[in-house]
Structure 1
Amino acid sequence: MAGTAERMASNQKQVAISEFFEKNKHFLGFDSLTRSLITAVKEAVDNSLDACEEARILPEIKIQITKLDGKKDIIELKSEDNGPGIPKKSIEKVFGQLLFGSRFHAIRQSRGQQGIGITGVVMYCQLTTGRKTHVRSKIATETSAAIVDIGLDTRKNKATKSGEGRELWELPDGTLKEHGLEITAQMKAKYQRGRQSVYQYLRMTSIVNPHADITFIDPDGETYHWPRVTERLPRKVESIKPHPHGIHLGTLQRMCVESTDSRMTVFLRNNFSGVSSRAAKELLAAAEIEEKAKPKLLKPDHYRALLEAFQGERMLNEKPVKLLNPPTNCLSPIEELLIKKGLSKTIDSRYV
């Protein structure tokens, strides 16, 4: 029996996150040929909108879909924007490494957060056509654009590259592109019209992003254009600290263990939103934790007691500790006027 146990244990291997998604691509939205195309377009557009807004650039996005082989459902997707572009050294990580991103640990409103989306598109294209995704990126401080074909080594969760180089990015009017990103990807997918279609997705996206200029060229060569109706960018969002009402026990424990603060009152004020000096002292009193205690030296019972104080289960003078509301500058709501302007792109203005 001992030999059997050792043999079974030796067969166990750690699976890379990219290898897992390769076998479970439906988790990323690639569960049918029709939805796969919409997912790929969505990931490209989301990245473009987020990049432009973060760089405070009014977005200009162009999506083109071409049928390469109708019988085998092979489609080419080309996405172009006028965003800040990506430095050459970062392209392979952005497009060829799952869970690589800048927003996962930030508490703020954004379209993409996990660092999976566009790399998932690269992986799906490679899985269904065997082809790499062509990327062209131009940043404002360089005269030429970087080009590279990106694939994904799913066992190592690492990019594979070929065709690296540089070229001048010339626009149809003969001028040179100042900055932006272009992605050309071939995948097995189906283009369809109707409610669940790329056209409808882009149409709805233009409504809720009235500051964006979006152009779509469908497989038949027909062009649809949704011009921007406002020059005003959405309010810039800021990252905020977690609020005690939304924290989990395991997260609280990890924060305490990793903390370098010398005392609990400082820890609570520095690491949470909505916690004033008064609230910090009252929370500790309710949890029966000394104010001078070091966060990393707390015991398991202390974590649970503090969490219960956060949630109002442990009270002080028979009342839950009152906390300030979290700040709202992590959100960027669309104003009523801009919604109406966005709707006017696609609906007769008499009915808006």
Structure 2
Amino acid sequence: VDNALDACEEAGILPEVVVKVEAVANGETPPPPTQASRFRITVSDNGPGIVRQQIPKIFAKLLYGSKFHRLRMSRGQQGIGISAAGMYGQMTTGKSVQITSRIGPKAPALYFEVQIDTKKNEPRILEEKRIDWESQRGTQVTIEVEGRYQKGRASVDEYIEQTIIANPHVKLTYFTPEGETKEHPRTYHELPPSPREIKPHPYGIELGTLLKMLQDTKSHWLSGFLSSEFCRVSSALAEDICKTAALAPRTHPRDIQGATAEQLYKAIQSTKIMAPPTNCLSPIGEKAILAGLYRQIKGDFYTAVSRPPAVYRGNPFVIEAGLAYGRGPEQAAESQEKKKIPLAEGEQQDNDSELARVIRYANRVPLLHQQSACSIYKSVLETTWRTYGVSQSKGALPAGPMVIFVHMASVWVPFTSESKEAIADYDEICKEVTLALRECGRRLGTFLHRREKAKSEYRRRNIFELYIEEVVDACNRLKGGKLPTQKLKEQLQKIAMTRTGGEKTDEALGKSDEGPEGLPHSIIVTPEGIEGEVPVPIVEPPNEAGPPKETHEGEEKAAKRTRPKGRAARQETDRSKHARPTRRVKPTPRHKTDPAKPESASQKRATRKKT
């Protein structure tokens, strides 16, 4: 799946991926998925396809890839993933990897069956032929493996769901082993910006890497080597580095070895060099994060933050965080019904029994394992969530219906091991994660405070409205039945609404059409609909009954949508309330004089005085 997404994005194609997992048995009826031990996995995409010469090496040779030495953000990097999966299937079931690929509508579809020679690390082609394939372009891979199918945490189902959250521009169809079809439609119709490849930064290399680069360079002089092989190193800066290292700029790079190379390495680290460029990164973005969270996770409040690019050890990176809070209007209504059930003596209603869920990503790929060893998880624990109105025990995750999303985009993600399951502790990374989580927490705290205050004011308003009828009847009796009761009732209701927060209370409780004020890149879900400054693309099923008829009600709704919302609407209302009424100024008539005679001095003084 990761390779399919990388290939589609590099080719500028909106990805469409199909994943099928089915239980198999040797000549027998397949057992239920929970009891099966062998599965056939098929993944197909609509990418650019693979040329014939590269198919065997890509799927049956370890450490074969085009991304290993490339400083550019991508999901795959080492050239191990798909070939290792094929080798695992070969070792456990003896079955070969089946590949079908086509590079275009006019090109033939190629079918391969390959295995890996574990002694020589070379591919063995068992079958190669041309076939008829319905897809105009793309690749399909089938691997048969031994394993156990499970649901819940760290499962295939969770991996696909989390992939959809971080990649809302993907249309993914998942056929489960139980025969269920899960359609994940595309909710964001824009490809992420294509990252560019950059040269290594001097701060991001080790001494051994520097020695290898000195031997492999085509430059004839040391100054030319520094300015051509590294980014952010000009000719003047290269001469300064040579001067600090006490080396001549015209020294041949291959002559620098041993102590001299270590001296050059220390000079590079001690020289002040500009941070590397960040166009090699492709962050998800706040809008796409909100679209993914809203699509996959039910909640009442969503927010997302993208931090500015930062640098660790010469490698640029971007931290993005998102947060979903609540259970959604439907589950909230169900919980209200449950609360009506009387509790036993001494029993209390517990709303915060569940802990928050943390979902971690590195270059848009979900990290499902080794959560406690990851710096992202540690940063979540170290954040003081009690400050933002969320209960939290010491050294534990915050309690409540909350999902915390954290993504790290970098050209070189510092994983703790080769399995790429957890991100290592770096002060720069932990700092950026903490700042992003705090910003999300501040927005959540604002939302919770407003909602709690609005609930209190709404309860006060209900109490006031309970007595309005009695007050109106009493006043009517005092006036002998001559009082306009309806007018008085409306005036008292208006006073009650003004005294209990007015439109702000209705807005916080979802009784208004206005969006959340002061909460950028956030969504609030209420029973009346969605509010927020960021529009969320919602995929609606086609209407089979035809287009709706035009009615006055539809025109009124369209007019409401065009009205200003949020802060702009309130500012417009305030301006209309406090604006001075326009006053007509009558022109002062001049004295009637004979046009032939000029005005006298006394007439001029009188005219000026009146004016």
| TM bucket, shorter chain | 0.7 to 0.9
Q: Which amino acid aligns with 1:209?
A: N
Runs (4 or more) in structure 1 with deviation over 4 Å come to: none
Whether 1:301 and 2:265 are equivalent positions in the alignment is no
Question: In the TM superposition, what is the alpha-carbon distance from 1:278 to its structure 2 partner?
Answer: 2.3
Report the Cα distance in structure 2 between the residues aligned to 1:66 and 1:115, rounded to whole angstroms: 26
Question: In the TM superposition, what is the alpha-carbon distance from 1:54 to its structure 2 partner?
Answer: 1.0
Q: Which amino acid aligns with 1:53?
A: E
Mapped contact 1:226–1:345 kept (Cα < 8 A)? no
Mapped contact 2:49–2:103 kept (Cα < 8 A)? yes
Greater Rg, structure 1 or structure 2? 2
Equivalent position of 2:219 in the other structure: 261
- Corresponding residue to 1:344 among 294, 301, 317: 294
Q: Which amino acid aligns with 1:310?
A: I
Equivalent position of 2:405 in the other structure: none
The equivalences for 1:16-27 within 5 A come to none
What do residues 219-273 of structure 1 show as CA deviations (whole Å, max 9, x unaligned)? 1111112111122111111111111111111111111122221211111010011
Whether 1:242 and 2:206 are equivalent positions in the alignment is no
Question: In the TM superposition, what is the alpha-carbon distance from 1:85 to its structure 2 partner?
Answer: 0.8
Report the Cα distance in structure 2 between the residues aligned to 1:200 and 1:181, rounded to whole angstroms: 24
Equivalent position of 2:276 in the other structure: 326
Equivalent position of 1:157 in the other structure: 121
- Please list every run of 5 or more consecutive structure 2 residues that lacks an aligned counterpart in the other structure: 26-30, 303-611
Mapped contact 1:62–1:81 kept (Cα < 8 A)? yes
Equivalent position of 1:118 in the other structure: 82
- Corresponding residue to 1:65 among 12, 21, 29: 21
Equivalent position of 2:45 in the other structure: 81
What do residues 196-241 of structure 1 show as CA deviations (whole Å, max 9, x unaligned)? 1111100000110111111111011111121111221111111111
Equivalent position of 2:110 in the other structure: 146
- Corresponding residue to 1:195 among 153, 157, 166: 153
Report the Cα distance in structure 2 between the residues aligned to 1:194 and 1:258, rounded to whole angstroms: 49
Question: In the TM superposition, what is the alpha-carbon distance from 1:115 to its structure 2 partner?
Answer: 0.8
Mapped contact 1:77–1:186 kept (Cα < 8 A)? yes
Q: How many residues align?
A: 294
Q: Which amino acid aligns with 1:348?
A: K
Q: Which amino acid aligns with 2:295?
A: K
Q: Which amino acid aligns with 1:58?
A: L
Mapped contact 1:268–1:280 kept (Cα < 8 A)? yes
Moved more, 202-211 or 69-78: 69-78
Question: In the TM superposition, what is the alpha-carbon distance from 1:163 to its structure 2 partner?
Answer: 2.7
Question: In the TM superposition, what is the alpha-carbon distance from 1:350 to its structure 2 partner?
Answer: 4.4
Equivalent position of 1:211 in the other structure: 169
Tell me the secondary structure at the aligned position of residue 249 of structure 2: coil
Mapped contact 1:143–1:168 kept (Cα < 8 A)? no
What do residues 296-319 of structure 1 show as CA deviations (whole Å, max 9, x unaligned)? 12242221111101211xxxxxxx
Mapped contact 1:227–1:345 kept (Cα < 8 A)? no
The alignment's C-alpha RMSD in Å is: 1.4
Mapped contact 1:269–1:275 kept (Cα < 8 A)? yes
Equivalent position of 2:178 in the other structure: 220
Equivalent position of 1:46 in the other structure: 2
- Corresponding residue to 2:248 among 254, 267, 290: 290
Report the Cα distance in structure 1 between the residues aligned to 2:185 and 2:295, rounded to whole angstroms: 7
Question: In the TM superposition, what is the alpha-carbon distance from 1:141 to its structure 2 partner?
Answer: 5.7
What do residues 102-127 of structure 1 show as CA deviations (whole Å, max 9, x unaligned)? 01110111111111110011100100
Q: Which amino acid aligns with 1:191?
A: Y
What do residues 64-105 of structure 1 show as CA deviations (whole Å, max 9, x unaligned)? 100113456010101010011111221101101111110111
Question: In the TM superposition, what is the alpha-carbon distance from 1:143 to its structure 2 partner?
Answer: 3.7
Cα 1:144–1:257 change in 2 (3 A) is closer
Identity %: 40
Higher relative contact order (CA 8 A, sep 6+): 1
Report the Cα distance in structure 2 between the residues aligned to 1:296 and 1:184, rounded to whole angstroms: 48
- Corresponding residue to 2:57 among 93, 97, 102: 93
Mapped contact 1:279–1:322 kept (Cα < 8 A)? no
Tell me the secondary structure at the aligned position of residue 295 of structure 2: coil
Question: In the TM superposition, what is the alpha-carbon distance from 1:128 to its structure 2 partner?
Answer: 0.3
What do residues 41-65 of structure 1 show as CA deviations (whole Å, max 9, x unaligned)? xxxx111011111111111011010
Question: In the TM superposition, what is the alpha-carbon distance from 1:328 to its structure 2 partner?
Answer: 0.8
Equivalent position of 1:229 in the other structure: 187
Equivalent position of 2:98 in the other structure: 134
Report the Cα distance in structure 2 between the residues aligned to 1:166 and 1:311, rounded to whole angstroms: 55
Q: Please, what TM-score do these two structures have when normalized by structure 2?
A: 0.47
Whether 1:184 and 2:142 are equivalent positions in the alignment is yes
Report the Cα distance in structure 1 between the residues aligned to 2:253 and 2:124, rounded to whole angstroms: 43
Report the Cα distance in structure 2 between the residues aligned to 1:227 and 1:306, rounded to whole angstroms: 54
- Please list every run of 5 or more consecutive structure 1 residues that lacks an aligned counterpart in the other structure: 1-44, 171-176, 313-320
Report the Cα distance in structure 1 between the residues aligned to 2:257 and 2:13, rounded to whole angstroms: 49
Report the Cα distance in structure 2 between the residues aligned to 1:299 and 1:184, rounded to whole angstroms: 49
